[in-house]
């Protein structure tokens, strides 16, 4: 039986989308899909993502972002899709949301993922949210409250047959509780994320302060850099 061909369209730099993409591919234990990747953004292709594609024999292409409405990139995606006869496009970036409208006239089926909370979407991203929700073959949210946030300012949105909630989960094949409980009473917590407002490190710090007030000992380590970093 011929495998279903999937084209993952995502940001080219370091970030959570790359991890999501790699976990998606690794979860395909039964090899039901043939994966392809199109990386797009202002940053060069992340070395880890490139090595992952090579290791897993994933055909990929990188395109540097030129402008907000990037016709060159759209043309590149369409050429890549046509060359490899890909049936499904998995769109993880708002920057190429015009593919959703183009898909109405093409043979592909586009599945759009909304990774960004409403508070941190630009005006054009809010427009693309509406476009994706109304016209994508499938629209994927990661928690119900996310959709409700969008609906508050985009009242035309309706949770219909094309809308789905698929919670993000931890890879239990890698992260598992220890067989033996730690002997000390200190809990270690870590996070890897860019130091920007949208990642909300402040919420974690506030929560940890409440645990400290209850007498719990917690070490919190942050790996990342960004405009919110303080020396």
Between 56 and 213, whose confidence is greater?
56
Asked if residues 45 and 117 have their Cβ atoms less than 8 Å apart, the reply is no
Candidate ranges 6-10, 45-49, 150-154; pick with highest mean pLDDT: 6-10
Report all structural domains of the chain as residue ranges with CATH numbers, in order of start.
4-165 (3.40.50.2000), 177-231 (no CATH)
pLDDT 10s digits, 122-137: 888 888 888 998 899 9
Mean of pLDDT values over 14-21: 80
Token pair belonging to 164: 């789905």
d(CA 151, CA 32): 35
pLDDT above 70 as % of the chain? 91
pLDDT 10s digits, 174-224: 677 777 766 667 777 877 777 776 677 788 888 888 888 888 888 888 877
> Residue 176, by phi and psi: left (phi above 0), alpha (psi -120 to 50) or beta?
beta
d(CA 108, CA 115): 22
């Amino acid at each position: 039986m011929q495998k279903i061909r999937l084209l993952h369209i995502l940001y080219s730099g370091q970030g959570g989308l790359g991890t999501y993409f790699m976990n998606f591919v690794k979860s395909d234990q039964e090899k039901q899909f043939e994966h392809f990747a199109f990386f797009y953004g202002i940053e060069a292709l992340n070395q880890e993502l490139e090595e992952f594609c090579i290791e897993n024999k994933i055909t990929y292409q990188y395109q540097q972002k030129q402008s907000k409405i990037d016709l060159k990139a759209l043309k590149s995606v369409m050429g890549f899709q046509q060359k490899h006869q890909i049936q499904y496009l998995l769109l993880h970036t708002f920057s190429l949301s015009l593919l959703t409208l183009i898909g109405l006239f093409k043979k592909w089926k586009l599945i759009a993922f909304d990774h960004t909370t409403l508070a941190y979407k630009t005006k054009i991203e809010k427009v693309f949210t509406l476009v994706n929700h109304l016209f994508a073959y499938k629209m994927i949210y990661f928690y119900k409250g996310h959709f409700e946030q969008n609906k508050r300012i985009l009242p035309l949105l309706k949770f219909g047959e094309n809308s789905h909630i698929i919670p993000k989960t931890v890879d239990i094949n890698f992260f598992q509780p220890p067989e033996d409980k730690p002997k000390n009473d200190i809990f270690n917590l870590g996070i890897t994320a860019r130091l920007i407002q949208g990642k909300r490190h402040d919420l974690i710090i506030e929560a940890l302060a409440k645990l400290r007030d209850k007498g719990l000992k917690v070490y919190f380590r942050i790996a990342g850099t960004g405009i919110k970093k303080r020396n």
